[in-house]
Amino acid sequence: MHHRHGRQAINRARELRTHLTDAERVLWYKLRELKQIGYHFRRQSPFRMYILDFVEHRAKLIIELDGSQHGLPDQSLKDEKRDALLRSEGYLVLRFWNSEVNENLDGVIETIVRELQRRDPHPTIAEGGDCRPPHKGEVKKARPLPRKGLRRLV
């Protein structure tokens, strides 16, 4: 089911994308690498009435990075309510502290990949195939399209 988001939510998500925390920036760089094995994350993505830090919709996996304010009682209750709504939609929310990302990025990524494979195994990985990124020269690049407004010389 696709829901349209209000202009305000979209603008807020865009603003958050341009002002990532250091931990979000580092994790985003690593999550983008997972495209090579078939997973596509979105960052600061509007969903229902929330903006999710990172989400992989096919696997229904949400990654939230929490700063110190999430340890406060009021914020913890809000997080629990939000997570319950997301679970009711079939999503799993993995929460990591910013410090975890900064101090143990490899462990965070291993946890995320393990959960992705459990929830939505990629065929190549599930069959024990080679899931390494392609080496230079293994992928043919498409011929670039001519730039708009330039005449094609024959």
E strand or H helix that includes residue 22? helix 22-33
- In sequence order, what are the residues at sequence separation of 6 or more whose Cβ sits closer than 8 angstroms to the Cβ of residue 41? 28, 31, 32, 34, 54, 55, 56, 63
DSSP-based three-state secondary structure for 88: helix
Q: What is the CATH number of the domain that holds 94?
A: 3.40.960.10
Cα–Cα distance measured from residue 65 to residue 76, given in angstroms and rounded to the nearest whole number: 13
In a domain, 144, yes or no: no
| Counted domains in the chain | 1
Q: What are the phi and psi torsion angles at 32 (to 5°)? A: -65, -30
In a domain, 143, yes or no: no
Cα–Cα distance measured from residue 47 to residue 25, given in angstroms and rounded to the nearest whole number: 20
Structural domain of 110: 7-126
Q: Tell me the DSSP string of 24-42.
A: HHHHHHHHHHGGGGT---E
In a domain, 145, yes or no: no
- Average pLDDT over every residue of 25-38: 90
In a domain, 131, yes or no: no
pTM above 0.85, yes or no: no
In a domain, 30, yes or no: yes
pLDDT per residue as tens digits for the range 95-127: 999 999 999 999 999 999 999 999 877 655 555
In a domain, 95, yes or no: yes
In a domain, 142, yes or no: no
Looking at per-residue pLDDT, the higher value among 33 and 73 belongs to 33
pLDDT confidence band for 150 (50 / 70 / 90): low
pLDDT confidence band for 63 (50 / 70 / 90): very high
In a domain, 2, yes or no: no
